[in-house]
Amino acid sequence: MNQEKKHPSLERANSRRKQVLDAAACCFSRHGFHGASMAEISKTAGMSAGHIYNYFDSKDAIIAAFVEQNMERVSNIMHDLAQSDDPLQAMIDDVEKRVQECLDPSIWAVPLEIHSEASRNPKIAATMQAADQRSRGQLFAIVTAAREKRGLPAGEDLVEGRINAMIAMYQGLAVRHVHNPGVLNPGLVDGVRTAIRALMLGE
Amino acid sequence: MNQEKKHPSLERANSRRKQVLDAAACCFSRHGFHGASMAEISKTAGMSAGHIYNYFDSKDAIIAAFVEQNMERVSNIMHDLAQSDDPLQAMIDDVEKRVQECLDPSIWAVPLEIHSEASRNPKIAATMQAADQRSRGQLFAIVTAAREKRGLPAGEDLVEGRINAMIAMYQGLAVRHVHNPGVLNPGLVDGVRTAIRALMLGE
């Protein structure tokens, strides 16, 4: 609905920013966050070393943009759930899609790199935690309302605990992929669905 | 039962190795795997830079020792489960203990660092994957036998999928801790137990 007309130079800047982010994702996955220099990122993006600073003034700023990007993806999922007549059933129906996403390196590789960096870098940890809190807040409201509508227990601790267990399982799948490249066996989606059904629809 | 008498010099070597591993864990968590040098690790361990090479010839060898250490911890858990009269119920009863372990940085910080490195280093990935496969194999045998004894479906894909979903949830909790330091809310253990009960005892 909110269709703003973008200024051509703004569009150009956005496209340049995306070019830098794609290059950074590539460099981070090759050498890790610490091993990738701004010089290498600008070279991979096909820009001069000075030019890149017009868009991002540090590697931390690039990381913040990735967190933003991931939050947008999660926000879209939340938006669709909130529109659904039966969000709890929708979460169960969507398990296969979510599992596929969690096992897609183009989605999880950079977040894991950020994660590792966040355990050492309080500024990045704060950015990541704020994004996480916002997403959890949205999910919390959706699940609480949907469980109340079905007459299921919907106390704050209960809903918070179930949501955290569910997110842990999805986030853990991305981690497991490195430990067990064969994790996507024919029973995985059923297994995850069994757990999500119990978490969302169980007393 | 298998009480071997250790040679004093072997005991000394083991204690030195542990000294290096403790120092390495500390350096990795401060600067990451790449940022920590063998020189810094030996200094932290209170050894000369040359001395450390008597115990580990590279950082990769240190990582392999950590994987070994973690596998021993998991093997002990498997051993206790295998001895239990009712391993499925034991897994449900142990949820609180397992959740506490997953949220303990002294247990998960190094594995996450290794994980991040494994996504770039095929040798480390292979070590980690072999350890994971061994643990999953033990768990698979325990869960299959216990479900058969209870007359529950115990097909290979079903058991494999349920085990992977369970491990993903536990491993994901360690990841979530960085995203959400307040993850251990009063409902978390109940949430995880709800999911594990469905995974292990559900049709």
* Single-letter code of the amino acid located at B44: T
Residues of chain A with pLDDT under 50: 1-4
> DSSP labels for B81-100?
HHHSSSHHHHHHHTHHHHHH
Say which of B173, B176, B190 has its CB closest to residue A158.
B190
Give the dihedral sign, CA A79/B183/B28/B17: negative
Chain B interface includes A76 (CB < 8 A): no
Answer yes or no: do B194 and A198 touch at CB < 8 A.
Answer: yes
CB of B172 within 8 Å of any CB in chain A?
A: yes
The more confident residue out of B136 and B29 is B136
Q: Which of A163, A175, A194 sits opposite B198 (nearest CB)?
A: A194
Give the separation between CA B37 and CA B57, rounded to whole angstroms. Answer: 13
Query: Of A180, A193, A199, which to mutate for an interface test with B (greatest number of B Cβ within 10 Å)?
Result: A180
Per-residue confidence (pLDDT) for residue A6, from 0 to 100:
53
CB B117 within 8 A of CB B57: no
**Cβ contact, residue pair B188, A161, below 8 Å:** yes
| CA separation for the pair A19, A2 (Å, rounded) | 25
B59-201, CATH topology level: Tetracycline Repressor; domain 2 (1.10.357)
Per-residue model confidence as pLDDT tens digits over A74-108: 999 999 999 999 999 999 999 999 999 999 877 77
Average pLDDT over residues B152-175: 95
Mutation target among B119, B189, B203 for the A interface, most CBs of A within 10 A: B119
Answer with the residue of higher pLDDT: A6 or B125.
Answer: B125
**pLDDT, mean of residues B28-50:** 87
Residue B104: other Cβ atoms inside 10 A:
12
- B187 touches A at CB < 8 Å: yes
Across B48-73, average pLDDT:
89
The Cα of B92 is separated from the nearest Cα of chain A by a number of Å equal to: 13
Query: What is the Cα B155 distance to its own chain's centre?
Result: 26
What residue segments make up the domains of chain B, in order of their start? 1-57, 59-201
Neighbours of B43 (CB within 10 A): 15
Query: Which residues 87-116 of A have a C-beta within 8 angstroms of B?
Result: 109, 112-113, 115-116
Contact between B162 and B152 (Cβ < 8 Å): no
Judged by a CB distance cut-off of 8 A, whether residue A71 touches chain B is: no
Instruction: Calculate the average pLDDT of chain B.
Output: 90
First to last CA, chain A: 39
| Interface check A163 vs B, CB under 8 A | yes
pLDDT digits (tens, 9 = 90+) for B92-120: 999 999 999 999 877 777 877 788 788 78
**Whole-number pLDDT of residue B6:** 54
Give B70 to chain A, closest Cα distance, Å.
Answer: 13
The pTM assigned to this predicted structure is 0.89
The confidence score (pLDDT) of residue B10 equals 85
Residue of A nearest to B179 (CA): A129
Give the whole-angstrom CA distance, residue A58 versus residue A60: 5
Asked if CATH classification 1.10.10.60 holds for the domain at B1-57, the reply, yes or no, is yes
Please tell me the predicted confidence (pLDDT) of residue B1.
42
Picking from B183, B189, B194, the nearest residue to A199 by CB comes out as B194
Predicted pLDDT at A49: 83
pLDDT of residue A169: 97
| B32 torsion bin: left (phi>0), alpha (psi -120 to 50), beta (else) | left
Using the Cβ of A118 and the Cβ atoms of chain B, whether some distance falls under 8 Å is answered with yes
Chain A contact for B183, CB < 8 A?
A: yes
